[in-house]
Structure formats: C-alpha cells, structure tokens
Structure 1
Amino acid sequence: MPVLGQNQYGKAATRVVRVARAGATHQLTDLTVQVALSGQLTEAHLVGSNAAVLPTDTMKNTVYVFARERGIASPEAFAAELARHFVTSQPTVERALVTVEEHRWERLADHSFVRSGQETRTARVAYRADRFEVLSGLTGLTVLNTTDSEFHGFARDAYTTLAETTDRVLATEVTAVWRHTAQDAETIAAADWNADYATARERLLAAFSGTYSYSLQQTLFAMASAVIETLPGVAEMRLSLPNKHHFLADLSPFGIANETGDGAVYLATEQPFGLIEATVLREGAEQRIPVELTSPA
C-alpha cells in the first residue's frame, strides 16, 4: 500500500518591490520570496480535505502586507518574520521555510537606480518548534584575476591534452551560502544582518583578489575561510565556483604570436566549464547546508 512521505507546499516567485520615499533620497528594495509549509497535511493528499491547507494566495498576500506594514530591514529578518508567522498562526503548520532573493540596484541619483548585473543576495530561513535556522548567501557574483594564478602538476591519462600553465586568467561566478549559529528569536532580532552580509561579501572578494592561486580549489578554501575567520556567527560555508575558462586565442594562422603577457587576447568560453564545489566548516561545527543549494541550474 502506498504511504505518504515528506511533503510541503507553498507560493513561489512572489516579487515584491518596496520604495521608501521619506525625504528626497528614496530607498529601493527588490525581492523574490518563496514560502514552503509542511505539517499536518496527510488528509489533503489522501482524501482531498483542505481543512489544514492555507491557500498559497494567502501566503502571497502576507508577503505584501508584511512588506508594507513592517518594512524590510534585511532579507534574513523579513524571512524570519514570515516563517514564524506561518507556524504560530496556523495550528496545522509545523515548519515554514522562507527563501528570499534580493536583487541588487545601484543608485544613479536620489531616485534613480541601475540594476547591478546578475548578482543576487539570498536568504533562507526555516522555523520549527521555536528555533530558527538561517542561511545567507549570494549568487551571480562574477570575479576575475588577470594573473597570480597557475595550474600545473595535475594527474594525466591517455586522454589528457591540457597544457600546464604558470600564469593564467582565473574567473568565476560565485555562488555562496553560509549558515549562522543564531537560532533563538532574541538573537535573530538583535543581529545586524545587513552588516554581516556586507562583511561576508567583502571578505569573499578580498580573499579572491588576495590569494595567489595554484588551483580554484585552493582559492575556494581561502574565500570561505576568510568569512568564517571574520564572522564568529558563521558555522558553515558552501561555495560553488564554475571555472570561467579564458584560453589564449590561436592567432598563428595570421602570423601573429599571442602569448601570456602585455596585450594577450583570450577566448572566453561559456560551456563546458569546470565546476568546483566544497563545504568549509568552523572547527567542531556540523555540516548541514544541502549540497543542491549551491549547484548552478
């Protein structure tokens, strides 16, 4: 006989843009919110009873109401408020998982902005039995070093054709997720999530630019370590770094030498690409970030 396993339902891709117009300089917040609820939903699946089912349209409306009436201090704080609301207001809901993506805009003037590439700030908050689990992160952060990167001494077999190099362009598009130790409501409310995010992003960038790289794996570990060493509230980091390959263009058919150095021309390729992923933990911490959270689509 079939038996119902783990299940959840919710509202995905709720876009909410909040504009704060106090004074001449406006503040713009642009989010995509996803809500997933789980709990006492067996009857909904087995006999079609909706008595325990809060409509997903209600979840969407709640996102807009909370944004309007409570504001959006940070993706983490906003997600935490929503997650706790759904669990504490519905007796059949035992766990709420709220995921928030913040889309970056750069200011042009007091009320003018430009979308900042594809970089996106993320937050994922789970709430159950008076405890929170908070994951912060970012995606689409593209970085590049024009030197201070090598790759040689690697394993070879009959099909290896890659040439060794002691000077290469290193580029990647960072997807990072970090788990906070904060779990109770008081700690969640007191945390400065925006400051912590800015610090984590700055440390990722500083470690990327400041690490002489012999492999992208080494660079990944340095980047994650820099965040963990700087922010005591971070227990775990997971990074996904696709290797955005830049190969020297072959100009020999035209009688032109094209070697690493001043004026070198590279072919930037999109696919296929190397993909380096790893989790880095604070000593003694438990690995809990799902692997699929940082794998590119």
Structure 2
Amino acid sequence: MSIVLGANQYGKAEVRLVRVLRHGGRHELCDLNVTVTLAGDLAATHLTGDNAQVLPTDSQKNTVYAFARSHGVDQIEDFALLLARHFVTAQPAISRARVRIEEYGWQRLGPHSFQRSGGEVRTATATCVDSEFDADSDADAGLVEVEAGLTGLVLLNSTDSEFTGYVKDPYTTLPETTDRILATAVDARWRYQDTGVDWAGSYAGARAALVDAFVGTYSLSLQQTLYAMGHRVLAERPEITEVRLSLPNRHHLLVDLAPFGLENPGEVFVATDRPYGLIEATISRAGDGVG
C-alpha cells in the first residue's frame, strides 16, 4: 500500500484591517477581514519539514497591511486581485493564490464618527493561477477569477407565501398553508466573466436584483423564490455569469393562543432559529460551466 500527499494549501486567515482615509477633517472608514490561501509546490514542507518554499503566514499578514498603505483600498474586488496576483508572481513555488475579503459596513454619524451597521456583509474572492506552473492545464492556465457576493442579508415577506402539495409520508406532521411568513438570511455569491467591471455598480445592481425578486415573487416554495432571485440577477447584470445562493428558511410559527381564550388571526408568531430548512442552488447562463 502506498501513501501519498494529496491536495494541500495554507495561508493566513481573517486578517483584520481597518483603514482610515483622511480628507482633512472628514474621514472615510474601511473595515475588512482578509483571508489568504496559497497552494503550489509545497510537498517538501509536509514530507520532510523543508520550509525553503514556504512564505510564512505572518509575512502574508504583513503584506495585507503594507499593500493597504501603499496601494490603498477602494473596491474590495480590486484589493483581492492585487494581493492574489502579488503572491503568485512574487513566490515561484506558489501556483495558486486565493484572497477572500469580507467588508463590514459603517454608518456615518459625523465627519469622523461612525456606527457599525447591522446590515449584510459584502464579500469578494479573487483567485490567480500561475500560467507557467499550470501550462498543461487548459482549464486553469492563466486563470484570474473574481467572485463577489454578500452574506447575512435578512429579508422577510409577511404574506404572499404558501407551501402546499408536498410529499406526505408516515412521519409528516407539517400542515399545508396558503399564507405564511417567508424569511431568510441570504448568502449569495456571483461569478464574473472578466475583471473589467465597475465593482461598486455591479454589487449595488446585483443586491437590488436579489431584493426586488424576493419582494416581487409570490412564493409557492423557498426554492421557487431562490430561483427567481438568481434569475433576476443574471437577467439584469450581463457581467455576471453565475449566481450561487444559500437560503435558510427562518421559520415563524403561529402561536396557539386558544388556552388564553384568544384568537390569533396571523398576528403573533414565534421566530425559531433551529432547526431550519436550507435551500441552495446555482443559477447560470445556458452553456456556462459551473465553476
């Protein structure tokens, strides 16, 4: 029996970066969480402990901070691309660099005062694959790919949602309903066809498409709503080639008030956090492969 080393990678996870851009008395705030993942010719460090090809994860952290100062941070997609390209081109042993960034929102209260917003988190991931190292791979050669998205976008429709006609087996106790609350916390990722994109405009447009589709869809199932949301993004944003959605069903259950002599005509609910249904799917343009 032979034992071999399989696919492997390493990096620095969750580098917290806050950058203050000073325009006289008025400041701009950028709050990021950056994760770097590197892969390549790294077998020796696993098999023999030879670290000659290993860039310390502490150096990766320092690069994030140094680049934030020397290059600035505007759109997180551009910053992720900058870092990913740097690690591939600067380190001969590294064939693939992936940089994922989460951006946290802050609401302005004054020229230099802010309040952390409770909204969704914007995300971006840039992947750069060295063309020389992967010269035999048509799929990966010279690949630079950007994926953006958001997480934690909480949406709720208090009506225009039902769930009927589903499979019933000996363990089914769920009653059919033609009027229910539909609530979810959207985790969405979308993939771009190239890197020449107005990132801010694309993000705002994709987010608006997700929200508009959720609001405007009479839901027969959360699966149907998910597809409508992904379809709307692709229909309105030609620069996006694929959307991946993960939607937990945040159940709201009607409280039985009969023991208290009260009716409950769809007004009082208990919001449960677990267990929950989890609906996931990828929506892509016809002819596009799923990345």
Fold conserved (TM > 0.5)?
yes
* Structure 1 stretches lacking a partner, 5+ long: 183-187, 289-297
The match for 2:146 among 131, 134, 140 is 134
Query: How far has the Cα of 1:48 moved from its partner?
Result: 1.0
Counting only pairs closer than 5 Å after superposition, residues 55-66 of structure 1 correspond to structure 2 as 55-66=56-67
In the alignment, which residue of structure 2 is the partner of 1:253? 259
In the alignment, which residue of structure 2 is the partner of 1:147? 159
Aligned to 1:194, the other structure's residue is in SS state helix
In the alignment, which residue of structure 1 is the partner of 2:138? none
Query: How far has the Cα of 1:118 moved from its partner?
Result: 5.5
The match for 1:217 among 223, 229, 239 is 223
Aligned to 2:26, the other structure's residue is in SS state coil
Determine the C-alpha separation between the residues in 2 that align with 1:164 and 1:112: 50
Determine the C-alpha separation between the residues in 2 that align with 1:223 and 1:98: 27
Determine the C-alpha separation between the residues in 2 that align with 1:79 and 1:17: 15
| CA-to-aligned-CA distance 1:249-268 (integer Å, 9 cap, x gap) | 111100000022xxx11111
Determine the C-alpha separation between the residues in 2 that align with 1:109 and 1:266: 38
TM-score after normalising by structure 2: 0.93
Work out the number of aligned pairs and report it: 279
Determine the C-alpha separation between the residues in 1 that align with 2:233 and 2:253: 31
Determine the C-alpha separation between the residues in 2 that align with 1:252 and 1:116: 40
The code of the aligned residue for 1:89 comes to A
In the alignment, which residue of structure 2 is the partner of 1:269? 272
Query: How far has the Cα of 1:199 moved from its partner?
Result: 0.8
Identity %: 56
For the aligned residue pairs, the C-alpha RMSD in angstroms reads 1.1
In the alignment, which residue of structure 1 is the partner of 2:35? 34
The code of the aligned residue for 2:70 comes to E
Q: Is contact 2:197-2:239 (8 Å) kept? A: no
After TM superposition, what 4+ stretches of structure 1 lie above 6 angstroms from structure 2? none
In the alignment, which residue of structure 2 is the partner of 1:208? 214
In the alignment, which residue of structure 2 is the partner of 1:88? 89
The code of the aligned residue for 1:2 comes to I
- Higher mean alpha-carbon deviation, 22-31 vs 47-56, is at 22-31
Determine the C-alpha separation between the residues in 2 that align with 1:149 and 1:241: 15
Query: How far has the Cα of 1:86 moved from its partner?
Result: 0.5
The code of the aligned residue for 2:286 comes to E
Determine the C-alpha separation between the residues in 2 that align with 1:18 and 1:165: 49
TM-score after normalising by structure 1: 0.91
In the alignment, which residue of structure 1 is the partner of 2:136? none
| CA-to-aligned-CA distance 1:39-77 (integer Å, 9 cap, x gap) | 111111111111111111110000001111111121111
Determine the C-alpha separation between the residues in 2 that align with 1:118 and 1:162: 32
The match for 2:197 among 165, 180, 191 is 191
The code of the aligned residue for 2:167 comes to A
Q: Is contact 2:97-2:127 (8 Å) kept? A: yes
Query: How far has the Cα of 1:26 moved from its partner?
Result: 1.8
Determine the C-alpha separation between the residues in 1 that align with 2:183 and 2:219: 11
The match for 1:238 among 234, 239, 244 is 244
- Higher mean alpha-carbon deviation, 138-147 vs 111-120, is at 111-120
Query: How far has the Cα of 1:24 moved from its partner?
Result: 3.5
Aligned to 1:225, the other structure's residue is in SS state helix
* Structure 2 stretches lacking a partner, 5+ long: 132-141
